[in-house]
Amino acid sequence: MRRHGTFPHWIRVASGLPRDRAVTINVQAGDTLPTTEGFAGVIVTGSDAMVTERHDWSEATAAWLADAARAGFPVFGICYGHQLLAHALGGEVGNNPAGREMGTQEIELLPAAAADALFAPLPERFPVQLTHEQSVLRAPDGATVLARSALDACQSFRWGDNAWGVQFHPELSATHMRGYIQARKVALQREGLDPAAMAAGVAAAPEGRRVLRRFVHHATALSRSRG
């Protein structure tokens, strides 16, 4: 996986952003959280950490996200970022009662997605790339749940007009997904899952990438309208 890059690189490429339009802040490594001034929006990546571990850097980022979302600043959380945003806004995160969800899986849009800025143009069901053990068990008060899967009732939510969380990984290609399954092979076998069958079931998931790109377009348009 390392030879293919890292989360920030995959996200930037998948979102269609050129290098000079994206800044990476590695809070876990000690980078200082910036102000939102000069930025159109923020995308929060996945992580090997767990939101429930309550690391200092994670809790500081949660407070930053809560302030940003309440100010109407565009926020898009992916996997860990999705869970951290929910936690920041008062939701509940914990181990998924259904267990690990991994591979190319189908999600179903809920009725509220038909009026959502990111999900409205998409089909009712489409495949996405997933790899997680924890989930948003309760969305924040005032949030609108937009999608679910067979193993997770909150695959996506929107809070306010400009903050979204998605449990799936819109930035992962089929190659990335197979790499994750291979990397977790032993753990999957211990859980009674079949890594070979999971890898064979991996497929392209272009609709997830469309959601990410629509967020970038939404944040950019909002920034321009604000001058």
Selecting among 132, 169, 176, 218, the annotated active-site residue is 169
55 is known as an active-site residue = no
Long-range contacts of 213-216 (CB under 8 A, 24+ apart): 213/14, 213/15, 213/16, 214/117, 214/118, 214/121, 215/15, 215/41, 215/43, 215/74, 215/76, 215/118, 215/164, 216/15, 216/16, 216/17, 216/41
Active-site entry in 82, 171, 176, 207: 171
154 as an active site residue: the answer is no
Q: Tell me, yes or no, if 217 is annotated catalytic.
A: no
CB 177 within 8 A of CB 104: yes
Residues with a known catalytic role: 79, 169, 171
